[in-house]
Amino acid sequence: DTGVSQNPRHKITKRGQNVTFRCDPISEHNRLYWYRQTLGQGPEFLTYFQNEAQLEKSRLLSDRFSAERPKGSFSTLEIQRTEQGDSAMYLCASSARQGPNTEAFFGQGTRLTVV
Amino acid sequence: AQSVAQPEDQVNVAEGNPLTVKCTYSVSGNPYLFWYVQYPNRGLQFLLKYITGDNLVKGSYGFEAEFNKSQTSFHLKKPSALVSDSALYFCAVRDITGGGNKLTFGTGTQLKVEL
């Protein structure tokens, strides 16, 4: 499978715990995005990397959230001190070329449940 | 800010009938528009995108979309619906303000195709 891969697919955690998600983009893609989707809503942008550089962060990305892409390949999204409001589907996407009409390809997401 | 609106939460159509899923947009500058589909417990799959100059865009699985600048719309269409088309459909616009590259999604339209 050469698509975007996300792990784990599901995560249940207790409030206050830290969690980390991983995203492996399509191998030749240099752009990587994280989105969050809650029930009944469209995905909301969290952050964007071009290679290893984090170029944009949403105001949704509080201080408890951090994302990295250390070698410009896979990326991790960490949430510290999770809250029930963090329960959502976290989606990763990647794209290859520059240009505003370049489509992004999404992974299957990691569903986080904070109890 | 760039935005899209999907005025219908749900669209019901009989198999074999044409379907339309509506999307209107608000952008400053050129619009870069996309349609994605989401099946249960799956990530988003790219269907099609608007490229300047082609008002009728053809995409995957027999879907097409009509760009209308005067009505600021980008409606998704299919001449003959299939039960397997039942899914959640999202319209999105590329937001390049401030040098960013994120997609802004609508709230989604649930398509239900019945026998």
Q: Give the model confidence (pLDDT) of A14-66 as tens digits.
A: 999 999 999 999 998 999 999 999 988 999 999 999 999 999 899 888 899 99
- For residues B63-80, one letter each, b for 16 or more C-beta atoms within 10 angstroms of the residue's C-beta and e for the rest, the string is bbbebeeeeebbbbebee
A103 inside 8 A of chain B by CB: yes
Residue range B7-21: mean pLDDT, rounded? 97
pLDDT of residue A76: 98
Q: Residue A83: which H helix or E strand, with range?
A: none
Mutation target among A47, A101, A105 for the B interface, most CBs of B within 10 A: A101
B49 inside 8 A of chain A by CB: yes
Asked if the model's pLDDT at residue A1 lies above 60, the reply is no
- At B67-107, the pLDDT tens digits run 999 999 999 999 999 999 999 999 999 887 766 678 999 99
Asked if the model's pLDDT at residue A85 lies above 80, the reply is yes
Structure tokens at A71: 């070698």
A25 inside 8 A of chain B by CB: no
Structure tokens at A28: 């030749």
